[in-house]
Structure 1
Amino acid sequence: MVRLLRPLARGATYTRLLHLWVPMAALSVWLWVQPELPWVPLLVLVPVGLVPGVRVGEGAQARLLLTPGEPESQWAARPAAAWRDRWRTVLWLQLRMVLGGVAACGTVWLPLLSYALAARAVGHGTGEPAALGGAEPQWLYALLAPLPLVVLYALVVGLGELVTAAGRRLLGPSAAERLAALEERTDQLLERTRIARELHDSIGHALTVAVLHAGAARAAGSPEFTDRALTAIEETGRAALEDLERVLGVLREAGRPAGPRPTLTEADRLLESARASGTRVDAEVTGPLESLPGPVSREGYRILQEALTNVLRHAGAVPARVRVEASGGALVLEVRNALPASGTEAGRGSGLRGIRERAALLGGRACTGPDGTGDWRVRVELPAG
């Protein structure tokens, strides 16, 4: 019994009834003006439903009144792009009008019928139903009086469930809309992953360089060296702050252009930063770096930045050899450094994983680890076509 009466305590039961009553307000005005043409509103709903934006409005209304508090993803959130979705909207408007008419009639006449039966039970009212055969057993009216209310309860709950199920079917996202939403969500996740990688590479490089410069300046005890170290820390920190401001601006304002990102044409800045920390870096740069596609050049810069950061962080002030070659429709980045006596923790951090992920996203490949000659090697090949 409690389970049967539970819908009476749910707010959705009453908001669904309100949803069914809404179209009846407009229909009642029309019937008051033109009672002999009740079918005209149904015809008018056809061109209305074909308007793409109507689907969004109906979906928002259904979400608020039919499924309050439930996820929004089950309702269409964008205008109908395909004709199939437009005709689904037309069918929904027609069905909503019909079900609303049934709900309006039921909620008006069933309570009146219950009242009439109750009045007969106490001896008021005139006329008798033909089914009673002219007899006047007052107790029979008393037994029949609650039945219209029971029917009203079943009608309200049943129509609410029916209109909700029909709404999910007709106003829910189509396969194309679900695919578009999935692609949009995937793009957002990829963008967040890229931003996390950008921050890791930029901030990690700046902090590593700052720590190494500060330690070297303290150990050197030379005012000139300390001045150079502070200058390098300032330049590296300023570049990291620019990257941070750019990324935070993108996060704060959806759709805002990301702004210029560093490319391989600015690789000298990375090399000089590494050299200023006390590491001897021999660099060989060949090929037209300025002609590389934007994504390849930007990701190549970040890969080189992370590789040099790993050298400074894990190997210390050991000689490093850098080769950047753009030729034959491919970009080759290679960073070698001598392994320290304590060895290197290969592949345990997120830096090397980020290098491999960047290469894979561009259709390239990355090899990291000892090369068998006592050196640690990071070699990345990216297609430049």
Structure 2
Amino acid sequence: MPRFFRPVTSAVTYTRWLHLLIGSAIPLMGAFITPGLSRTSPAEWVQIALQPIPLVVAAALLLPFVRRAEGLQARLMLFPGQHARVPGDEEESGISVAPSVSWRDRGRTALWLVLRLEAGFLAGYVTVQFLGTALALVGAASSERGEEPGVLLPLPGPHPANALLVPVPIMLLLGVMVVGGRLMTSAARRLLGPSPTERLAALEERTEQLLERNRIARELHDSIGHALTVAVVQAGAARAAADAGFTERALGAIEETGRAALEDLERVLRVLREDEQPASRRPTLSDAAQLLESARASGAKVDTEVSGPVERLPGPVSREAYRMLQEALTNVLRHSGPVPVQVRITVRETALEIDVRNALPAARESTGRGGSGLRGIRERATLLGGRATTGPRDGEWQVHVELPLG
């Protein structure tokens, strides 16, 4: 079907027109009382269109829930489900369904109600006139009467050929329906759309969701990535050593690391499910001994120096520092293998410093840029108000982190 005719066959065109026609109900109800609909003059039609305005304005200004009612109705009829939309029109409604919380919201709602009232009245008048014109053409084609009162367009004299003109007012009405529906849709987005306060609240909620997703992604990357790296290094070392004792120790280290990774995975899944079960405790820098031991079991010679009260670190700093150290050791095992590693953890009065250094293999060409793991270390440090530097220095690869404790 040509694109030009798609709106005519789409249900949304008729739901939008029905939404417009509903707006004419209030002035027509008033017209039955005064001035009446019998022999109505043009001035009286104007009176019918204007007399309900004070009522709808008062309702919008005094009743906050009017905005919600209009928003729900606009969503239902101006932006129906996908089955009723014009193909290619996938835009979301952007219509708020919250009650008015400020005078600005009430004013926008009042303006919307006045627009809907007048546009609905005009839509009803045009609909009656175009349909009347079509019926008058049918009558002119089948009888000798040449003029019919109350039609929008002048009619030709009686002739059977008038039957060919019957589709003209109907097609014009369909065109007005499509254009009118789109104009009201645009107006609804402007007048019933979210207020600046609602937009800010939605933006803050979206930001929180993205930050949480980013944090969970880093957690999974650090935990699962470390476990898989240790398992691969241990398995390769055990096969190369061909020693039963070493193989037994390697399998034990793989089992322990895998169990810790499963616990981290279960904790993250509990957060995603948002169930009522308490999440397991996240590891902190006080648990670094187990982390360093798993690296040693992988064949790396880890020289560790810890100074200061690690157990007294603030919770967020200690937990994030553990993940940074984990990623730094994972990076060593993944890219350099079981090489000597120097780990320095220093707790000062106002800051925590972590320094991880390892020798760079001669065959490795370093670009000074890390992957997503090292980028995650820098992101964690920045979120805590600190800084992290990674890259080659004096023939070694260094990961240096400074986190404030204030």
Q: TM-score, normalised by structure 1?
A: 0.80
Give 1:51 deviation, angstroms. 5.1
Q: Does 1:275 align with 2:299?
A: no
Residue 360 in 1 paired to residue 360 in 2? Answer: no
- 2:320 maps to 299
Task: Choose the corresponding residue for 2:373, options 334, 342, 351.
Answer: 351
Q: Give the drift of 1:79.
A: 5.2
CA distance in 1, matches of 2:3, 2:361: 72
Bigger mean CA offset, 359-368 vs 263-272: 359-368
Q: Which AA in structure 2 matches 1:108?
A: V
SS in 1 for 2:363: coil
CA distance in 1, matches of 2:126, 2:278: 56
Match of 2:346 among 306, 320, 325: 325
| Contact 1:20-1:103 at 8 Å conserved across structures | yes
User: For residues 166-218 of structure 1, what are the alpha-carbon distances to aligned partners after superposition, in whole Å with 9 as ceiling and x for unaligned?
Assistant: 11211223444444444443443333333222222111111111122223333
The answer for the alignment partner of 1:203 in structure 2 is 224
Indicate if the aligned counterparts of 2:356 and 2:398 stay in contact, CA closer than 8 A. Answer: yes
Aligned to 1:133: none
Q: How does 1:78-117 map to 2 (within 5 A)?
A: 80-116=100-136
Distance 1:128 1:231, change over 3 A: closer
1:60 has 2:80 as partner: no
**Is the partner of 2:253 in helix, strand or coil?**
helix
Alignment CA distance shift 1:191-1:218 (3 Å): same
Matched, 1:243 2:264: yes
Query: 1:54-108 CA deviation, whole Å, 9 max, x = no partner?
Result: 3652452232289665222633365554432243223223322332233233323
What are the residue-to-residue correspondences of 1:1-385 with 2, within 5 Å? 7-23=7-23, 27=26, 35=33, 39=52, 42=56, 43-44=58-59, 46-50=61-65, 53-54=68-69, 56-61=71-76, 62-64=78-80, 69-72=89-92, 74-76=94-96, 80-116=100-136, 118-120=138-140, 122-123=142-143, 137-139=157-159, 142=162, 149=170, 152-252=173-273, 260-343=281-364, 345=366, 346-372=368-394, 374-385=395-406
Q: What is the identity, as a one-letter code, of the residue corresponding to 2:79? A: R
Partners in 2 of 1:324 and 1:51 — Cα distance? 61
Equivalent residues of 1:55, 1:86 under 8 A apart: no
CA distance in structure 2 between the aligned counterparts of 1:215 and 1:228, rounded to whole angstroms: 13
**Distance 1:86-1:46 versus aligned 2 partners, 3 A rule:** closer
Rounded Cα–Cα distance in structure 2 between residues aligned with 1:63 and 1:317: 61
After superposition, the Cα gap between the structure-2 partners of 1:31 and 1:375, relative to the gap in structure 1 and judged at 3 Å, is same
- How far apart, in 2, do the equivalents of 1:128 and 1:221 lie? 105
The answer to whether the Cα contact below 8 Å between 1:50 and 1:90 also exists between their aligned partners in 2 is no
The one-letter amino acid of 1:97's match is L
Q: Could you tell me how far apart the structure 2 residues matched to 1:328 and 1:115 are?
A: 91
Asked if 1 retains the 8 angstrom alpha-carbon contact of 2:60 and 2:107, the reply is: no
Residue 163 of structure 1, CA deviation: 1.2
CA contact (8 A) 2:133 2:169 kept: yes
**Larger mean Cα displacement after TM superposition, 205-214 or 333-342:** 333-342
Which stretches in structure 2 are left out of the alignment for 5+ residues?
Answer: 36-50, 151-155
SS at match of 1:192: helix
Runs of 5+ consecutive residues of structure 1 not aligned to the other structure: 131-135
> Contact 1:367 / 1:379 at 8 angstroms: preserved in 2?
yes
CA RMSD of aligned residues (A): 3.9
**Which amino acid in structure 2 is aligned with residue 327 of structure 1?**
R
Code of the residue aligned with 1:71 in structure 2: it is E
Q: Residue 79 of structure 2: SS of its match in structure 1?
A: helix
For residue 305 of structure 2, give the secondary structure of its aligned residue in structure 1: strand
> Which whole-Å CA distance do the structure 2 matches of 1:128 and 1:112 have between them?
9
